[in-house]
């Protein structure tokens, strides 16, 4: 589900409750909504409050004209006809370069698990540099021929980590799935010679254990992020010719901002140690400043790095080109996000002697999962260092 506000794109998670979707569209002040026919009912609440906002429905049929098509197809065809009738020269208001690269191009809303969803502001400059980084770091143009990218990652997650722009930038082919279907994914990997896809560790684990799993005759680069993966998962994937590109990031960083860079010397290590190192979150992206791990519990704005000993626990902070501008219409949350001039992740990690960061656990994921619904478990992780998690997460109440 996608909405527009002036020149902004607002992608919305269709798994959210109807009232959360209504809140997002009201908060972002959208003036046009595009939705798949399957999810139109989620807009019932919003339409009662804002009945005059146009809705373009994709009827989800193969028809592009006539009775079986719908408003979305009609709008696309109208644009194509206009372009053809005017000699294929576009239209007078088409912008080929933005006047202000720091202006906002998209709002990516957080999940809203612990509070109202926040609209993370993505700028033209940030999206461009994040997309360029993904072309390089995920190797979208490393092979002979064009990239064939399979959409297993939802586009509503941090605007698909900017991969809609990145794949298009290398003239790649987008293969879209209606839902995660493991037999279908394996068929597409083989028959369509898919070269890349992105997925969380859980999706990759189930894919590797699917009955259709078998080593591919061509390499596929798989960008992996979300919860911390295991070295064992990366070994399973590699054996199937699925080559992990391990990244880490947040909605507030346009998706990935670090990568676990594989060193040639690791080939001489025992397999379990090699894959364990691959599972670390690694170093800053090519278009990012270096990430840091800082001591928690300091006065607001005071930044002190933890020791690079792989033992002292702190919080990952980031800065540079691919950190989001702030939260839309929320100056106080933006101030907290950027305390001390760095973007705070709220994730617990250690810093290794080689400069690689490694998350102990994504504490927000523990809370969200429902497996541990208090801070007691996470504080137990930190007992030896006297860290209290409530003092780490600057964005928590």
Question: pTM of whole model > 0.75?
Answer: yes
* pLDDT interval class at 395 (50, 70, 90): very low
Hey, which bits of the chain come out as E strands? 2-5, 8-11, 32-36, 55-58, 104-109, 119-123, 148-151, 173-176, 196-199, 220-224, 242-250, 255-259, 283-284, 292-294, 314-318, 343-351, 357-361
In the predicted structure, residue 303 carries a pLDDT above the cut 80: yes
In the predicted structure, residue 389 carries a pLDDT above the cut 70: no
Distance of alpha carbon 384 from alpha carbon 387, whole angstroms:
8
Q: How many residues does the chain have?
A: 397
Cα→Cα distances 198→138, 252, 304, Å: 9, 18, 34
Q: What crossing angle do the helices spanning 201-208 and 231-239 adopt, rounded to 10°?
A: 50
| pLDDT number for residue 47 | 95
Q: What is the pLDDT of residues 221-235, one digit of tens each?
A: 999 998 889 999 999
| pLDDT number for residue 64 | 63
In the predicted structure, residue 87 carries a pLDDT above the cut 70: yes
- 357-378: average pLDDT: 51
List the chain domain ranges.
Answer: 143-391
Of the chain, the percentage scoring pLDDT greater than 70 comes to: 86
Q: What is the pLDDT of residues 276-302, one digit of tens each?
A: 999 999 999 999 999 999 999 899 889
- 333-358: average pLDDT: 96
Cα→Cα distances 63→41, 56, 85, 292, Å: 22, 16, 23, 52
Contacts of 148 (CB under 8 A, 6+ apart): 172, 173, 175, 192, 193, 194, 195, 196
The label of the residue with tokens 């009738």 reads 85
| pLDDT number for residue 86 | 82
In the predicted structure, residue 109 carries a pLDDT above the cut 90: yes
In the predicted structure, residue 34 carries a pLDDT above the cut 60: yes
Higher pLDDT, residue 91 or 34: 34
- 20-44: average pLDDT: 94
In terms of C-beta density within 10 A (0-12 exposed, 13-18 middle, 19 or more buried), how is residue 384 classed? exposed
Reported CATH class of domain 143-391: alpha beta
Average pLDDT along the chain: 87
Q: Which residues pair with 58 in a beta bridge?
A: 36
Contacts of 380 (CB under 8 A, 6+ apart): none
| pLDDT number for residue 158 | 94
């Amino acid at each position: 589900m996608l909405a527009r506000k002036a020149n902004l794109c607002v992608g919305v998670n269709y798994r959210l409750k109807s009232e959360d979707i209504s809140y997002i569209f009201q908060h972002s002040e959208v003036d046009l909504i595009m939705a798949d026919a399957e999810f139109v009912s989620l807009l019932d609440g919003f339409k009662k409050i804002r009945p005059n906002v146009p809705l373009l429905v994709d009827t989800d049929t193969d028809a592009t004209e006539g009775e079986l098509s719908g408003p979305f197809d009609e709008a696309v065809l109208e644009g194509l006809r206009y372009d053809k009738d005017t000699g294929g020269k576009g239209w007078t208001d088409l912008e080929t370069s933005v006047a202000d690269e720091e202006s906002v191009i998209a709002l990516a809303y957080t999940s809203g698990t612990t509070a109202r969803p926040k609209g993370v502001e993505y700028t033209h400059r940030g999206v461009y540099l994040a997309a360029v980084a993904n072309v390089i770091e995920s190797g979208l143009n490393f092979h002979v021929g064009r990239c064939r990218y399979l959409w297993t990652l939802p586009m509503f997650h941090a605007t698909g980590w900017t991969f809609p722009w990145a794949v298009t930038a290398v003239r790649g082919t987008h293969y879209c799935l209606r839902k995660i279907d493991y037999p279908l994914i394996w068929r597409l990997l083989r028959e369509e010679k898919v070269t890349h896809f992105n997925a969380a560790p859980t999706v990759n684990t189930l894919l590797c254990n699917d009955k259709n799993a078998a080593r591919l005759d061509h390499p596929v680069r798989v960008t992996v992020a979300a919860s911390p993966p295991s070295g064992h998962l990366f070994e399973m994937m590699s054996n199937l010719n699925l080559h992990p590109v391990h990244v880490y990031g947040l909605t507030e960083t346009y998706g990935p901002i670090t990568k676990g860079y594989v060193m040639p010397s690791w080939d001489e290590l025992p397999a379990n140690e090699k894959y364990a190192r691959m599972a670390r979150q690694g170093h800053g992206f090519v278009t990012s400043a270096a990430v840091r791990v800082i001591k928690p519990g300091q006065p607001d704005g005071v930044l002190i790095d933890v020791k690079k000993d792989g033992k002292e626990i702190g919080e990952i902070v980031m800065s540079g080109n691919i950190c989001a501008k702030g939260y839309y219409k929320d100056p106080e949350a933006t101030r907290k996000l950027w305390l001390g001039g760095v973007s705070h992740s709220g994730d617990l990690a250690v810093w290794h002697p080689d400069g690689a960061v490694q998350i102990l656990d994504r504490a927000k994921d523990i809370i969200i999962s429902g497996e541990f619904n208090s801070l007691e478990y996470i504080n137990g992780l930190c007992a030896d260092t006297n860290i209290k998690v409530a003092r780490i997460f600057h964005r928590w109440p």
